[in-house]
Amino acid sequence: MKQLKSFQPFWPETVIFWGAGATASLGIKTTEQLARVIFRLAGINGKRQVQQRVKDEFPQADKRVRAELAALLVLLGEDGDRDEAMRTLRFSKKRVSELKRLYNWTVTREVMRRCPGVHNGHFSLQDCYNLIDLHIKSGQGFAVNGRFIQPEELIVARRTLNMLIGIVHALDYRAMLRHRRNEICQYFQFAYILGQLMQQEGKERARHNVPLTERQFYLFSYAVISMNWDPLLLWFLFNAHRELNHSYSAVPIDRFGNRLKLFHDLAHFMAVRRIDGKKPAPWFPFNETVVQRLNDPEYNPGRRVRVGKFYFPHGCYGFRECPNCGKLTVYLGDEWSVYSETLFPPMLLPSLSYGRPRSEEEMAAHREGIFDAIQCVHCGQMTESHHTAMIMQTQLKEQHPPFLEEIQRDMKVAIENAKHIILLGYSLPEDDFLYRTILSARKKDGTVKCSIVNFQRGLPDKWLDCGQWKTYKFDHSLNSLCERVSNIFGEENVRLYGAGVPAVFLRHGRASVEKVKQLLEWK
């Protein structure tokens, strides 16, 4: 009997946690900012009309969009002229009846009043979701101001919060396209450099005769865990890879002269609604099965490929779970451009429904006022905003769709095998028990490095080790983050970059290869 050899599957050495702080400079609101906006929209401690509240929160938005959002809130429970609101939104009585069954702003506001600290202006989205989920799980309602809220009404309130959060971020995205094009370009440059590095990495591994069908060749040395619901980083990477794949920088990699192309493995066999298609047909991202077939050295498929792991453990605005077949459709818009106006999925508001209908069924839905309609690419059933698959901030374990469970399981193994963890704008909240547990477990398996990228005014544009950062005065949140991470990994294995994102990868206003390497390759 031959002596057995150890089997240690290759996993990416570097795992990047991409948090809300990473996109704050693009104008995408963080969780705390979202909470403030929704609290002020609710008008709990004020007497301003809903139109004025909407105008105050979104001064840069088009007047038409503001009018539609105010009208939607009127139809869902705010005081106001409901007939005028219907005309503003072009909704029929049937459509209004459907929406009132799905959403209820009145109940949502009443639930918010019950949250701790809300009457002093301290509103936490997590407190609100915890309150809702606790009572949904127990099957018991509660009373607010003499009105008893039924458990089934809490489900509607939760759905209403989800819907409003999506609209707020969609408005942020509109403002980003209009006012932050230079910043968008910087993020795209970052994604492009990552792609170039993965091309070079593949060429180097092939030069060392690593078989093209082995994970050590075809998996990127980094993986991304997006803690955000927006698809921005994935979209920048998609566009960067597409440009690199179509350029002559895609290097020949084998005896046939095949060029090396870059793609993503999204940890689930999901279908993306074809971006440049004329009908709602699917395009399936690569997975390891496809990669091994394409990289088989006995055949000449016309290209060789590498893939990067990209995880959405909390779901994404573009994730639609079909109410019929239960499968996942991913929506990423109608055009290949980092400035795509259609990247966010269509919302309830007509002015935020930029994606064009691609079938008779979608066109019919639009005519009926269902402006957020997208067909499932698997079975053709219509999906709407409330079918968006996302996990919200709550301390109670929710029932997740199977595809999110699958993503989380694959992600867990990636973290356990990482040698370098980067917290890029992610603050590792103390109540995020899942990730604290996983990261703590990593400490037991040997030395793991951790890089913290956060922002505090006055910190220098350079990496600081523990001895260096202790000479600076931190605000409470950053100090708490550094302490938590140091306790997990050990002070000697932690470094801090305090000038934030995108400064961590910029030099003289442009993304720098040297700075991206410094971010990834801390030894």
User: Quick one: what percent of the chain has pLDDT higher than 90?
Assistant: 74
pLDDT of 448 above 60: yes
3-state secondary structure of 415: helix
Strands 374-375 and 282-283: unpaired
The neighbour count for residue 152, using CB atoms within 10 Å, is 10
**Three-state secondary structure call for residue 21:** helix
Q: Report the pLDDT value the prediction gives residue 469, as an integer from 0 to 100.
A: 87
State the pLDDT confidence band at 3, using cuts at 50, 70 and 90. Answer: confident
Amino acid at 355: G
233 compared with 279, residue with greater pLDDT: 233
Segment of 137-141, 253-257, 275-279, 450-454 carrying the highest mean pLDDT:
450-454
Tokens coding 278: 């004329």
pLDDT at 13 over 70: yes
The share of the chain scoring above pLDDT 70, in percent, equals 95
Q: Is the whole-model pTM more than 0.85?
A: yes
Read off the pLDDT band of 476 (50, 70, 90).
confident
Predicted local confidence at residue 47, as pLDDT: 77
What's the pLDDT score for residue 257? 87
Q: Does residue 419 carry a pLDDT above 70?
A: yes
pLDDT band at 322 (very low <50, low <70, confident <90, very high): very high
Whole-angstrom CA distances from 456 to 136, 359, 498 are: 39, 49, 6
333 pLDDT tier (thresholds 50, 70, 90): very high
Collapsing DSSP states into helix, strand and coil, what is residue 122? Answer: coil
pLDDT of residue 442: 65
What pLDDT was estimated at residue 444?
61
Residues 265 and 310: beta-carbon distance below 8 Å: yes
Q: Which residues are CB-neighbours of 479 under 8 A, at least 6 positions away?
A: none
Which of 222-226, 281-285, 405-409: highest mean pLDDT? Answer: 222-226
**Are 454 and 21 within 8 A, CB to CB?**
yes
Query: Cα–Cα distance between 517 and 242 in angstroms, integer?
Result: 22
Full DSSP string of 374-401: EE-TTT--EE-GGGEEE--S-SSPP---
Distance CA 341, CA 338 (A): 9
What is the average pLDDT across 487-493?
A: 89
383 DSSP β-pair partners:
374
Give mean pLDDT, residues 222-234.
97
Asked if the model's pLDDT at residue 433 lies above 60, the reply is no
What are the distances in angstroms from CA 353 to CA 209, 243, 334, 405? 50, 27, 12, 30
Predicted confidence band at 488 (pLDDT cuts at 50, 70, 90)? confident
209 has a pLDDT exceeding 90? yes
484 C-beta neighbours (distance < 10 Å), count: 17
- Does residue 275 have a pLDDT over 70? yes
Residues 249-264: tens digit of each pLDDT: 667 888 888 999 999 9
> Mean pLDDT lowest for which of 223-227, 290-294, 343-347, 434-438?
434-438
CA–CA separation, 194 vs 223, rounded Å?
11
* The pLDDT value given to residue 398: 66
Please report the pLDDT score of residue 1 as a whole number.
60
Mean pLDDT (whole number) for 31-40: 94
Q: Where are the domains of the chain?
A: 25-179, 181-390, 399-520
Of 102-106, 122-126, 237-241, least confident by mean pLDDT is 122-126
CA distance linking residue 40 with residue 63, whole number of Å:
19
pLDDT at 394: 73
Give the integer Cα–Cα distance in Å for 330 and 407. Answer: 14
Q: How many residues does the chain have?
A: 523
292 pLDDT higher than 90: yes
Q: Cα–Cα distance between 75 and 99 in angstroms, integer? A: 9
Q: Which of 136-150, 159-173, 361-375 has the lowest mean pLDDT?
A: 136-150
The per-residue pLDDT of the chain, averaged, comes to: 92
Amino acid at 439: L
Average pLDDT for residues 197-222, to the nearest whole number?
95
